[in-house]
Structure 1
């Protein structure tokens, strides 16, 4: 499970790139009960979603050429420049950076060899998110890849992630833990893109999961707010009930009501 005791390679930030930040604030604050706090005019429209006093995500306008609305996951590193070099050596792309974000930290935008975009955050004054795993916060990360074998080799070279392959229907699900993690430190997974997703032109991408008290109620609220269902609610024994959604601008995310002990 995710923790705010961030170690190298663990998820420590996420933000949403939106073509209409005001509309995105309206959608996500209503959906998750978040509030929004602007970082001020010097931040170029960037700001923070909060659950109570805890920062749980961030939001900013789209800044890259031809960028589409999307959530971006960041992974912790003590050295963003070294990660950028490893990404290049492993066949990935450095889209931007590394650069300093005031005194908060250092970041870089990256793309793996299968086309999935992600980022890294080297903490300065800001270590990362204030809360994870609780309702209304990030609780899991998932990579849908056109080539899971290539993706595993890439992230192993970049972050040293540990992997455990488990059966998943007719395919395989790879559970990921940080290089220094144990069996209880799972942070995400890798799986093959579904055939219907590939047929629809969907490429490799990272998907954030948010914990919610009731998946079906969250789906209904998302629809009411102008979102859509990408994958209907599904029950997984020992995991919980989850669904994949898109916001009104098409940014994809997932929600889950995790199973309790013995479920």
Structure 2
């Protein structure tokens, strides 16, 4: 894959790996399509969108929300942890990338176990799709980084900026997840309009900070695959945020503040 020379100031040259190239194309195209489907009302079947936007399937297998979300994140966490054993003695950039991915999914697993409150289930098909996306993208990102080990670093080093952005993203995402969890008392399954943090500006600040986190990861990595996956994630979360705002408006009507955007303050 050929990329403009000016981008080589920021990126490692793409590896001569058919697997990584294929995964780059699949990742950005599938996530972009998933974001478009969210805007069109065809949602991934979990959280508030369970059974919305799709025809109900008879005898469809469903998982509890806790079990489904553990499926989402645990394999990717294991990939991150195992990378330290599979690729020992790597440089600082590799260690930072593998650490960021491991911390990201460890946080997710701990939130599933100890923070989130649940009100529904997750379709098995959606659980498999999301699990494969997280697991394959994590493995590919680490492998692409490994393939760049003997290549001269890009002239513009973004890895320390990436660490800062990742820290902002993971802290901001956790903070707003705490707000969402505290909206409900034990046993309460009703949705409420979130308040606190940046919820007065956007309905999905947790997605905004998740994007900060992934931008940070791509800055740490500086591989084409990492940027492609991050761009695809931005497209998907844009669609999911739009759909979430529309859902809140449909559910709460005039009670939902119209100046609250989807996930970019004052803009979208």
Same fold (TM over 0.5): no
Instruction: Kindly indicate whether structure 1 or structure 2 has the higher relative contact order, using CA contacts under 8 Å at least 6 residues apart.
Output: 2
Q: TM class, shorter-chain normalised?
A: under 0.3
User: What TM-score do you get using the length of structure 1 for normalisation?
Assistant: 0.27
Higher strand share: 1
